[in-house]
Structure 1
């Protein structure tokens, strides 16, 4: 497909909103359009692509193989666009009330962005730009006012404040948990979803099994290059994921993912907020930093039976 024949970019934005929100209804509310308009946009995108993106024979509809391929591209592509816009904003610095936060795409998608609505309700004069990295520890580069990092907290490029501890437990779609229970599957035979991040601090299934005293899992399962892709696969019922509390707690509260009856592991790493010295005195930066620091110790694991 040539650049001239690419579908309108708004169709990709609608597709991403449906995937991220979990339903056309929620996407319609987020984009302030009608649900039929969302459905029509998805059908129009399918026409442009030449393949169905959703399997509508299931309830709720699930991604087809073509849909999963496009989902990966759209997630990465919009993430790059978001990063580029954030960099441009950082260069412009036209507003003293603008703050740029760097974090991983998983942290941005599942932890930070859902909480910014509350922040804007109390601080409508502060504009927050989010710059994401695929994985790893976001660096403090020019234009970055704050960084949310996962690690041991031993960085030296800014003031380090503890946000919250992390915990990890296997999670999956409710329908998959029911099938696993009915089949009497043990831990070592679960259909697993793997994230190959290349980060030493990112627990693998083998690391988790050894740490909690479970048998090592057999088979390879499905592998992904980032947490957002693996989470989407879990939401589609394709396997069991290592659920990091920071990224899955909201999905569990909403019933879109459920906890499996295996031990919860708390890594030695935690989430921290890093404030570079050259931005610490800026009023907008202090406002957001103080608000984020309010989460210190307030995040609690979601426990299910």
Structure 2
């Protein structure tokens, strides 16, 4: 087997980080044609295209993203050697890039990532955003997984796959109170409510229950961010619709109490991945751990 030509690898590395053949050629004082030929030679040796052109942009393929991860490691080697000889060793690290919906429970995200937190050999990159942007990043191999509370549609053409990680009950919670037991749904005729936004699946299911019961609630706030809904639940005298995992710390501390579980309403948590020829072993391990926990519930 032939050894990799590290000059070719450096040319590829420069273009990948610049995102432009023109800028990389200027930076390396080479012609674009020379740079293009060198990258083609590397692609031929590896047996996979490393870039694809989308409009006027060069976008990494799956093989290209993997090659870039290794190239980053290779070209850090000089720095690591110097650091080691100077008494400051640097650990080699694997990287996992995670996209998470801005509205997703932080407690759930932490539970999923906990097996990797604190590992010296792992660098976690967590990006928040909306569904459309994060799925675009997943398609472009800029993140390895997207954490969501909604599954993506499946058909024969899509390469995206949904992994059900957990299914949580949904409750009404609020500050501790004295008096009679909370009655659902009758007491909601008079209780002010803090609710997830209408984009939420649990909100849609909850509204259907109230509609069947003939109840038109008094709504204090509609919030699409679970972290903000958690804060408002702490401060408000109203009743908040939320999965208990979102306010787990407040429930354990007695700041909030669970008034009742909502029948037939649950929130599902998914890991959305793109089918890849070269899957991340870190991600495979995380999905296995999360799946094993879910099956034992």
Scaled by the length of structure 2, what TM-score is found? 0.55
Pick closer, same or farther for the CA change 1:250–1:136 going to 2, 3 Å.
farther
C-alpha offsets along residues 2-46 of structure 1, whole Å, 9 cap, x if unaligned?
xxxxxxxxxxxxxxxxxxxxxxxxxxxxxxxxxxxxxxxxxxxxx
Match of 1:194 in 2: 195
2:200, 2:265 → 1: CA distance? 17
1:241, 1:135 → 2: CA distance? 24
**Equivalent residue runs for 1:253-268 within 5 Å:** 253-261=252-260, 263-267=262-266
Following TM superposition, by how much is the alpha carbon of 1:275 offset from its aligned partner in structure 2, in angstroms? 2.1
2:104, 2:232 → 1: CA distance? 17
Following TM superposition, by how much is the alpha carbon of 1:117 offset from its aligned partner in structure 2, in angstroms? 4.1
Match of 1:127 among 123, 128, 152: 123
Match of 2:226 in 1: 227
Q: CA RMSD in A?
A: 3.7
Pick closer, same or farther for the CA change 1:240–1:272 going to 2, 3 Å.
same
Pick closer, same or farther for the CA change 1:285–1:205 going to 2, 3 Å.
closer
Is the counterpart of residue 297 in structure 1 residue 295 in structure 2?
yes
C-alpha offsets along residues 204-224 of structure 1, whole Å, 9 cap, x if unaligned?
7523424xx644143332233
Match of 2:175 in 1: 173
SS at match of 2:294: coil
Pick closer, same or farther for the CA change 1:196–1:189 going to 2, 3 Å.
same
1:291, 1:201 → 2: CA distance? 26
Segments of 5+ residues of structure 1 without an aligned counterpart are: 1-89, 300-305
Greater CA drift, 277-286 or 99-108: 277-286
**Equivalent residue runs for 1:63-82 within 5 Å:** none
User: Which has the larger share of strand?
Assistant: 2
Indicate conservation of the 8 Å contact 2:169/2:261, yes or no.
no
SS at match of 2:173: strand
Match of 1:113 in 2: 110
Match of 1:239 in 2: 238
Following TM superposition, by how much is the alpha carbon of 1:125 offset from its aligned partner in structure 2, in angstroms? 1.8
Pick closer, same or farther for the CA change 1:201–1:261 going to 2, 3 Å.
closer
Following TM superposition, by how much is the alpha carbon of 1:200 offset from its aligned partner in structure 2, in angstroms? 5.4
Indicate conservation of the 8 Å contact 2:193/2:240, yes or no.
yes
Match of 1:207 in 2: 208
Pick closer, same or farther for the CA change 1:129–1:223 going to 2, 3 Å.
same
Match of 1:42 in 2: none
SS at match of 2:143: coil
Indicate conservation of the 8 Å contact 2:170/2:244, yes or no.
yes
Match of 1:139 among 126, 135, 140: 135
Segments of 5+ residues of structure 2 without an aligned counterpart are: 1-65, 74-92
1:111, 1:294 → 2: CA distance? 16
C-alpha offsets along residues 26-81 of structure 1, whole Å, 9 cap, x if unaligned?
xxxxxxxxxxxxxxxxxxxxxxxxxxxxxxxxxxxxxxxxxxxxxxxxxxxxxxxx
Number of matched residues?
203
SS at match of 2:228: helix
C-alpha offsets along residues 129-161 of structure 1, whole Å, 9 cap, x if unaligned?
221225789415131101122235644433332
Pick closer, same or farther for the CA change 1:253–1:102 going to 2, 3 Å.
same
1:169, 1:136 → 2: CA distance? 28
Pick closer, same or farther for the CA change 1:162–1:208 going to 2, 3 Å.
same
1:250, 1:208 → 2: CA distance? 28
2:214, 2:131 → 1: CA distance? 28
